[in-house]
Amino acid sequence: MKLLDGISLAKKIRDDLKKRVALLKGRKPGIAFLLIGEHPASHTYVTMKKKRCEEVGIFSKVLPLPVSISEKELIQTIERLNQEETIDGILVQQPLPSHLSTAHVVESIDPNKDVDGFHPLNMGKLLLGEEGGFVPCTPLGILKLLEEAKIELQGKHVVIVGRSNIVGKPLAALLVQKKAHRNATVTLAHSYTKDLASLCRSGDILVAAMGKPLLIKKEMVKPHAVVIDVGINKMETQKGLQIVGDVDFAQVSEVASYITPVPGGVGPMTIAMLLSNTLASYQKIS
């Protein structure tokens, strides 16, 4: 079994971005984070993203907004950022409070500044296989991990468990593209899927993105399969409260050919791809 090490690949990508940003004349790329309410995980994620921006020389600002903000006020804030010349990327940290429509908010972001890749225009380009849009960061990070390890996708059966708009669906669209080094056959599973275990066992590559701690067990994995664990779950263990994935790493690492650890697999790649999308946005806008 080999580890797909997201920490070292993400560092390599950040080091490269840092060199490219240092060469830019004039203003640096900029990103705005909109942080609504007091969601503790969202605060942690935004703090980490801001820190990584600073490390590579990307300007960032966090706009903390009250949980009571109306949709109209939030959209007006986004529209102002759409016009701001120093801002190349706008990220609204999800999940949003329930009185706000994620769709309305995402659609108000200028697609050219939508570095999360969640705007319908960018999602549409991804689905159509068109170049020039932003690809969501987690799927893009997974693709980079697979590419780095030279894992062939063509003709392989990829089973993705989880059909969210931020992970499962865009990842399926990315891997099924008719393009060199893609051309995978993709099955998207969800909570209504029957006999999940045997479906998972048919995957040459298995991606777990459910948010269900340690649900994927050894007997659900094809011998020598590549296993990508997207899940981030807090779980009480013998060692206290720990972050665990959706895959039972101790068991599954006995049968997998490659596996991502949690933490240290997909997570760091997601942030590295956000930085990469922000630089790409700067280069498109400037």
Q: Active-site residues: which are they?
A: 49, 93, 116
Token code pair at residue 154:
């063509």
Question: What is the amino acid identity at position 36?
Answer: I
Which DSSP string do the residues of 24-39 spell out, in sequence order?
--SSPPEEEEEEES--
CA distances from 155 to 2, 14, 129, 169 (A): 22, 31, 18, 19
Order of strands, edge to edge, in the sheet holding 89-92?
Answer: 59-65, 30-36, 89-92
228 near ligand NDP, judged by CB under 6 A: no
Q: Pick from 171, 226, 230, 247 the residue near ligand NDP by CB under 6 A.
A: 230
Closer CB to ligand NDP, 227 or 266, in the complex: 266
Least distance in angstroms from the C-beta of 263 to ligand NDP:
8
Please work out the total of residues on this chain that contact ligand NDP, with binding judged by CB under 6 A: 26
Rounded Cα distance between 60 and 241, Å, is 31
* 48-56, 107-115, 120-128, 228-236 -> range binding ligand NDP (CB under 6 A): 228-236
* CB nearer ligand NDP, residue 77 or residue 216: 216
Decide if residue 209 touches ligand NDP (CB under 6 A). yes
- The correct pick among 60, 77, 122, 270 for binding ligand NDP (CB under 6 A) is 270
Site for ligand NDP in 136-195 (CB under 6 A): 138, 161-164, 166-168, 189-193
Residue 97 CB, nearest distance to ligand NDP (Å)? Answer: 16
Q: How far is the CB of 49 from ligand NDP (least distance, A)?
A: 11
DSSP string for 94-108: SSPPTTS-HHHHHHT
Minimal CA–CA distance to 135: which of 109, 112, 121, 116? 116
One-letter identity of residue 110: D
Binding of residue 217 to ligand NDP (CB under 6 A): no
User: At residue 63, what are phi and psi to the nearest 5 degrees?
Assistant: -105, 100
Task: Using the minimum distance from each CB to ligand NDP, give the nearer residue, 128 or 235.
Answer: 235
- What residue ranges bind ligand NDP (CB under 6 A)? 138, 161-164, 166-168, 189-193, 196, 209-212, 215, 230-233, 266-267, 270
